[in-house]
Amino acid sequence: MLSLFAVLSIVILGLYLLMIMVFVIGWNKLYKENHEVDTRKVDVSRQVEVSLVICCKNEAHNLPVLIDALKKQSVSNFELIWVNDNSTDGTLQILEDSIQYFQNAKVLNSPFTGKKQAQQLGISSAKANFVITTDADCKPGKKWIESFLNFQARHHADLIIAPVKLADGVNIFQKFQQLEFATLVGSGMGAAGAGYPIFCNAANMAFTKQMWLDCKDDMENNEISGDDVFLLHCIKKRKGNIQVLNTAESMVETNAVNTLKEFIKQRKRWASKSSKYKDAATIFAALNVSLINVFLILLFCTSIFFPSILKFFVFVFLFKLITDYSFLANIKSFFKLKFTIADVFLLSVFYPFYVILGISSLFQRRNKW
């Protein structure tokens, strides 16, 4: 049994290390490229037209911050499309009142229920071929839209993946979410930088309407979420031009959830669609992460009955801890993360159980946004 666990430890750790190395190489490649571009000004107002699509459901408490951020954008010649998804609070009134602040804005009321259907309505109504999406609880910087337009003028991308970060937490639970989310976003961008795009987030992405129309039938419309990742996979399958924009100006910020119940609900919704993934790189990454975390739980439980297995558990845990810390160190400055090895240790302790939570969601149906 000892030899079996020894072989499994080497194989699983080797696969995990290889994956993280790919993420780091891709991240460093992207960071260098996006921060050494030609800095000459591009007349974005004449080269790229853009439609901004934002779906909202009961977001009255978040919308004032987003509206204020959009009013302060360095460019103003964008089409703004609000899509109200059957809100029951004051969302619709806030959206209608906001139209006066923009040159070209409108509010659409979705006749269906669900974010995916609302998103489809908004994108279908967009006049521009270049579409940017974000969420109602996000806050972009002043040059957010301008950074996309400049980037698109240079790269003519079918899809642009851009960064999302969680605001600094006020307690350990929110700090845990910030580190976990930064790891998720950073690994997705690093994978794309290495030529293996696996993940993107509709809270901050852009694409051409024509490519979206071409992929519309591959969006797994029976799933309540995943419009972003399914779009990425479709574009990837079609050999489309997928680019990553990882600059401070292109980042949007959102808040961590406040309760464990909200966190579990959110992460289960994210993970529930993964059974429909058909992209090999995405499946490999998901299985790799699941395998090492399930293996850690297996080693720990087995060591209770067979103490000789404890050394394998300690070795695998420490190896993964150091590997994860190294990756976070690479993305730390970009996401402005503040953490110590102790913080990563705590994350490593709880993360295997978080992965089990994600796996369990594959056997449940999630019908709410």
List, for residues 48-70, the tens digit of each pLDDT value. 899 999 999 999 999 999 999 99
SS3 204: strand
For the four alpha carbons of 339, 30, 158 and 232, in that order, the dihedral sign comes to negative
Question: Mean of the pLDDT values across residues 170-186?
Answer: 90
Q: Which residue type does 179 have? A: L
Domain positions in the chain are 40-172+197-259
Q: Residue 193: what are its φ and ψ, rounded to 5°?
A: -65, -30
131 strand-pairing partners: 51, 207
End-to-end CA distance of the chain: 46
Kindly tell me if the per-residue pLDDT of 79 is higher than 70: yes
Confidence band, pLDDT 50/70/90 cuts, at residue 369 = very low
List, for residues 107-126, the tens digit of each pLDDT value. 999 998 888 889 999 999 99
CB-based contacts of 179, cutoff 8 Å, min separation 6? 328, 337, 339, 343, 344, 347
List, for residues 200-222, the tens digit of each pLDDT value. 999 999 999 999 999 988 777 66
Q: Which of 218, 188, 256, 212 is nearest to 119 (CA)?
A: 212
Return the higher-pLDDT residue of 269 and 44. Answer: 269
Give the Å distances, CA to CA, from 247 to 85, 159, 309: 31, 16, 45
Topology (CATH) of 40-172+197-259: Spore Coat Polysaccharide Biosynthesis Protein SpsA; Chain A (3.90.550)
Question: Looking at the whole model, is its pTM more than 0.85?
Answer: yes
The mean-pLDDT minimum among 30-34, 112-116, 332-336 falls in 30-34
Q: What 8-state DSSP symbol labels residue 314? A: H
Tokens of residue 269, six digits? 């919704």
